[in-house]
A and B are shown apart, each in its own frame.
Chain A
């Protein structure tokens, strides 16, 4: 008796769910349409990488040229330079930002005054919310040839102070690393602080009772607790190592041609090939190159994460 009543209820519930599915489809519809038009249709547009695109003929009637666009891309040293810049900068950013933000988080979490730590945290995070349009102007206030602070100070020190910093190859690698850290370290610090504040006080109390110094506590309790999230986020950031930060490398150096060898990344290259050179075929080819390598990286990285810690894997 009880059994059948439960069965009936179950059937009834099943029926309700099916009838209700219509509402779910309706709610999903806008996003599905969006995904189709703005994500999946452009993926089809990647065929342009194999075409000699004539903009008036459009995608459907332009002739196919095989791998010519890729040949064009890889024949020059451009492909090598932009790949090197993109990958190397990203690797350096990851390491530098990690070291700075972990140090800041450790210091902030051990301060005696929580209020001071809060204020500092608020300040550090501010640049994260500025656009690269603004960051470029801030950088220019220092680097401008005529009015910039750097040249003014050089002049005060008796130097000519006439250097155009936007033409100096050697300052841009460290400068890019600095600007990137300036903008992003605060956000990472906040992230690590959140993890640190989640560590149980018991560990520290036990350590204190055993006579551990503050330094030992940091080394043997805090850092090991961070190891996990750091490891995972390091591996995960490997998957986006092929994506250059467009704003950082286009806006901040003011798109200065003289320093392309050290500032040009895949994303800025694609943008310029499209807007300045109007070479649709080759810029699509560069985009496809980026997407495919990026995709393979994500798959490899995910496989690795899956082996180390399945819970942190993306899929």
Chain B
């Protein structure tokens, strides 16, 4: 019997020729992904002279760590941005997870009379939104949370999509009978939430938490729209701003010649330093991601489970 299965399995295997073809095609696709990132890495390790002579290239005439060295020596702004980004990525994710799992728990209760209403209140925000402008006016004119750390924490506190997914997960992984048994034993909802739901639900929470943290880490838009205080500029916004200033000067050579332009040019980092900065921004994600890949894959596929 086992032999039979093995024989059939062997038959379902791809022929060696096609396998080789696929391996090569897939390898080239991987190169398409890796090469652009490799270019950034190599430019970050090229000397300024090499960049001036040959531009960005895979084969610089001179290798150096200067980009990174200057970055760490003069990188006050970078350090500030790093700290801010780390702070709000972690704090924001913890806050979101707390608020979202609690709400998910509530709307997962089939016996709670308002669970349908609450679900709809949440769900409707996925279908219709006031859009960028009213939210901007609200944050800036009425809540006055622009230019403060709160802008990174409050408007992104609840993600409707992930809350709905969390609810579905609670419903499917934790049987109703468990809730009822706990309640008859006299446990309140808080007790049940903390001592039953959270422990049983670690994977789901970790998955949503990781996605939440990555999207916070990658958020450049909030900083660009709301932050002027240099102490609060997030990493990704810093990158965008550097790029835009350099580009602006390049497009407007006339300004670059004026004293103001020259002063501005002087504050700009060298090309290799800018690329070093980029590498340092993506490094944590590239390092963390393979370790957490299981969660990420699960997170991506659980989105396709009906909410």
| A contacts, CB < 8 Å to B | 13, 16-17, 20-21, 23-24, 27-28, 30-32, 34-35, 37-46, 48, 55, 58-59, 104, 107-108, 110-112, 116, 120, 122-127, 129-134, 136-138, 140-142, 144-149, 151-152, 166, 182, 186-187, 190-191, 194, 201, 204-205, 208-209, 214, 217, 229, 233, 246-247, 251, 254-256, 267, 270-271, 274-275, 280, 283-284, 287-288, 290-291, 294-295, 298, 311-312, 314-315
Residue from B37, B109, B131, B244 within 8 A of A288 (CB atoms): B131
Residue of B56, B107, B155, B190 with most partner-chain A CB within 10 A? B56
Interface size bracket, B side: 35 or more
Question: In the bound complex, how far is the Cα of B72 from the Cα of A309, in angstroms?
Answer: 57
Contact A31 B141 (CB under 8 A): no
Q: Please, how many angstroms separate the alpha-carbon atoms of A209 and B8 in the complex?
A: 8
Complex partner residue of A152 from B37, B56, B137, B219, CB under 8 angstroms? B56
B200 close to A (CB within 8 Å): no
Is there an interface contact between A214 and B14, defined as CB atoms closer than 8 Å?
A: yes
Contact A32 B282 (CB under 8 A): no
- With contacts A59-B137, A136-B240, A149-B56 taken as known, whether A190 is within 8 angstroms of B155 at the C-beta atoms is no
Cross-chain contact B290 with A43 (CB below 8 angstroms): no
Encoded as 1 (CB less than 8 Å from any A CB) or 0, chain B from 242 to 255 comes to: 01100100110000
For A290, the chain B residues whose CB sits under 8 A away are 131
Q: Which one of B130, B157, B282 contacts A42 once the chains associate, using CB atoms below 8 Å?
A: B130
B146 CB within 8 Å of chain A: no
Interface pair A31/B103, CB less than 8 Å apart: yes
New A-B contacts (14) at CB < 8 Å, excluding given A16-B184, A137-B40: A13-B183, A17-B112, A27-B193, A42-B135, A45-B133, A129-B289, A133-B236, A137-B243, A149-B39, A166-B247, A251-B240, A283-B132, A290-B131, A295-B128
A-B pair count, CB < 8 Å, reads 286
CB distance from A17 to the nearest CB of B (A): 6
A-B contacts, 21 listed (Cβ < 8 Å): A20-B188, A27-B103, A34-B157, A38-B135, A38-B138, A46-B131, A110-B14, A112-B16, A126-B286, A130-B282, A133-B281, A138-B40, A140-B243, A141-B40, A141-B43, A142-B56, A149-B55, A251-B220, A270-B132, A283-B132, A290-B131
B218 interface hit (Cβ, 8 Å): yes
Evaluate contact between A182 and B8: CB separation under 8 angstroms.
Answer: no
Q: How far is the CA of A274 from the CA of B141 in the complex (A)?
A: 14
Decide if B118 touches A28 in the complex (CB within 8 Å).
yes
Give chain B nearest CB distance to A311 CB in angstroms. 6
Closest chain A residue to B234, Cβ basis: A133
Residues of A within 8 A of B2 (CB): none
Q: Is the interface of A mostly helix, strand, loop or mixed?
A: helix
Q: Is the CB of B39 within 8 A of A141?
A: yes
Which chain A positions have C-beta within 8 A of B307? 314
Q: Which residue of A lies closest to B25 (CB)?
A: A107
Name the distance in Å between B283's Cβ and chain A's nearest Cβ.
11
**What are the 5 tightest A-B residue pairs by CB atom distance, in nearest-first order?**
A45-B134, A287-B131, A42-B130, A131-B218, A31-B103
Q: Main secondary structure on chain B at its contact with chain A?
A: helix
Q: Is the CB of A42 within 8 A of B103?
A: no
Instruction: List the A side residues contacting B129 at CB < 8 Å.
Output: 39, 42-43, 291
B175 to chain A, nearest CB (A): 17
Q: Is B154 an interface residue (CB 8 A)?
A: yes
B219:A131 contact, CB within 8 angstroms? yes
Structural contact, B137 and A24, CB atoms closer than 8 A:
no
The answer to whether the Cβ of B174 comes within 8 Å of any Cβ in the partner chain is no
- Stretch of B63-71, B86-94, B259-267, B295-303 on the interface side: B295-303
Q: Chain A's nearest CB lies how many Å from the CB of B6?
A: 11
B102 and A30 form a contact (CB under 8 A): yes
Tell me the smallest distance from the CB of B300 to a CB of chain A, in Å.
6
Chain B residues whose C-beta falls within 8 Å of the C-beta of A104 in the assembled complex: 26, 29
Contact B133 A287 (CB under 8 A): yes
